[in-house]
Amino acid sequence: MLPPAHLCVSCKGSRLLCGLDYCPILQRIHVQNKIFSEVKSEIFGPSPPNIFVGHVGYPVVAVGAMASDTLVEDDPRKLYGKPFNEIITERSKLFRSAVKREVLAKDKYIRDMQEIVLSQEPVDVELKFKYAPKPEVEFSPMTPPMGPLGQLERYTIAGNAKIPKRVDSLVSEGVKTDVAVKELLYRGYDNYYLMRALSAGVFGENERKRLVPTRWSITAVDDLIAKIYMESIRNAPEIGDYELYHSSYLSNRYVIMLIPGRWEFENYEAWAHGTTWNLSEQGSYVTMEYEPHEGRTKYAELQAGGYYASRYAVAEYLFERGKQARAIVIREIEPGYMVPVGVWQVRENVRNAFKAGPTKFSSLEDMLSYAKQLISNDISTYMQKDRILSQKRLTDFFC
């Protein structure tokens, strides 16, 4: 018997809120999706570059390079637009090596893994596993699908890592994480590079540097960068029109509404019956997370990484425009979304909506009327949970 939808939607297989020692939904997907090709005990080829840092057993975790015989696409921006089967087939070729290490470890193995991650180009590696890994794909609500995981016996870095000089300096100088991330962000390094770097534990004072599980580093960087952007957004002029953006990909539909006013953020997730995390409840299960102008102090428990990925993309867009607004994001997950591919699709879907450009309106009523045509649920489903539109401002009384 499957757990109730309200637990699954909040947990997404990461916190085991149902009380079981495994996620029955992810376990079912894990068993049903196998790589029907020969799995070898040795790999020689490029690392994208990337490493895998597990979270099970923290603070002692599995860590190792990711590699394949041929270069596998690891940049979510380039995965965007590809169909499910192509993403899964491609990502299943990316093998993960694993050695247990304490997160504060700083031995040669960890230094080599950090060198791989900081490279701006693929690095050739040779991985020898103790046993041939099981031919299975791992799915997660946070990360892209990942290929077989094997216990590492030995490894060789056969290529040269090309690490930017400034990155190397920030690492060797022990610059604090928030300072290093902010500088590299303004120097043009993308969020995905910074996620990998944070996971490898390269930032911070040397004695305090630590590995960060891959799934945690994704949300941490989304949160950190969005806060950097919001510092600027809060002092920016407000937009003048009501703007609506939309995008749809992998059975995920997004409608984004920007409303004149001071920065606020509201994010909805509506999981239709038959989707990954709503197999038990009829109709859509809707959650809402809200952030006031001054920011939130509690973790977004109901939506977890999806909330932070969505907020990141909205904050990035407003920062680049030099504007602030009240933002509402509606995400409708349709039955076709039966396999989680990670929060990158949230981030890139929202980005894609902004790239497509806005439909502008002179009134909130006109924008909501248009939004009704784009969503599958009745808009009252969302408005009954609303925090932004229900607020009365002085301009509502005097304009």
Which of these three, 104, 135, 157, is where a domain ends? Answer: 157
How would residue 17 be classed by pLDDT, with cut points 50, 70 and 90? confident
The arithmetic mean of pLDDT across residues 266-291, rounded, is 88
State which of 130, 157, 184 marks the end of a domain: 157
pLDDT band at 38 (very low <50, low <70, confident <90, very high): low
Same domain assignment for residues 195 and 296: no
pLDDT (mean) for 335-350: 92
Q: Residue 326's beta-bridge partner residues?
A: 259, 264
Domain extent, residue 223, equals: 165-233
Average confidence score pLDDT of the chain: 91
Neighbours of 393 (CB within 10 A): 12
Are 89 and 190 within one domain? no
* Same-domain status, 310 and 361: yes
Specify whether 247 is located in the same domain as 386: yes
Kindly state whether residues 361 and 379 are assigned to the same domain. Answer: yes
C-alpha closest to that of 287 among 83, 1, 10: 10
Cβ–Cβ < 8 Å for 107, 132: no
In a domain, 44, yes or no: yes
pLDDT tens-digit map of 200-229:
999 999 899 999 999 999 999 999 999 999
Same domain, 198 and 253: no
Residue 13 domain flag: no
Phi, psi for 108 (deg, rounded to 5) = -60, -40
Tell me whether residue 11 is in a domain. no
**Mean pLDDT lowest among 1-15, 65-79, 325-339:** 1-15
Mean pLDDT of the 332-341 span: 88
Looking at the fold, whether 172 and 284 belong to one and the same domain comes out as: no
pLDDT in tens, 378-396: 999 999 999 998 875 544 5
What are the structure tokens assigned to 225, written together? Answer: 């960068």
In a domain, 360, yes or no: yes
Please say if the pLDDT value at position 12 is more than 90.
no
Task: Say yes or no: 259 and 382 in one domain.
Answer: yes
Mode of pairing for the β-strands spanning 264-271 and 285-291: antiparallel
Say whether 60 sits in a helix, a strand or coil. Answer: strand
209/348 same-domain check: no
Is 271 or 275 the better-scoring residue by pLDDT?
Answer: 271
Q: How far is CA 258 from the centre of its chain?
A: 22
Q: Is residue 2 part of a domain?
A: no
Place of tokens 């949230």: 346
One-character DSSP codes across 23-36: -HHHHHHHHH-B--
- Residue at which a domain ends, from 96, 129, 157: 157
Residue 3 lies in a domain: no
Per-residue pLDDT at 258 exceeds 80: yes
With a cut of 70, say whether residue 106 has pLDDT above it. yes
Q: Are residues 182 and 146 in the same domain?
A: no
Looking at the structure, tell me whether residues 92 and 198 fall in a common domain: no
User: Which residue shows structure tokens 């509201």?
Assistant: 266
pLDDT recorded at residue 122: 97
Could you tell me if 122 and 189 lie in one domain? no
Closest-CA residue to 260 (of 291, 235, 237)? 237
Average pLDDT over residues 16-36: 60
Is residue 289 included in any domain, yes or no? yes
Residue 324 scores a pLDDT above 90: yes
pLDDT band at 354 (very low <50, low <70, confident <90, very high): very high
Number of domains present in the structure of the chain: 3
Contacts of residue 265, defined as CB under 8 A and 6 or more positions apart, other chains included, come to 290, 291, 311, 314, 315, 326, 327, 329
367 Cβ contact list (under 8 Å, min separation 6): 242, 243, 244, 257, 259, 361
Establish if 116 belongs to a structural domain.
Answer: yes
Least confident stretch, 180-189, 275-284, 327-336:
275-284
The yes-or-no verdict on residue 32 having pLDDT over 50 is no
- Interhelix angle for 305-321 vs 344-356, to 10°? 30
Q: CATH number of the domain that 74 lies in?
A: 2.40.50
Q: Which residue stretches of 17-163 are H helix?
A: 24-32, 76-79, 84-91, 108-118
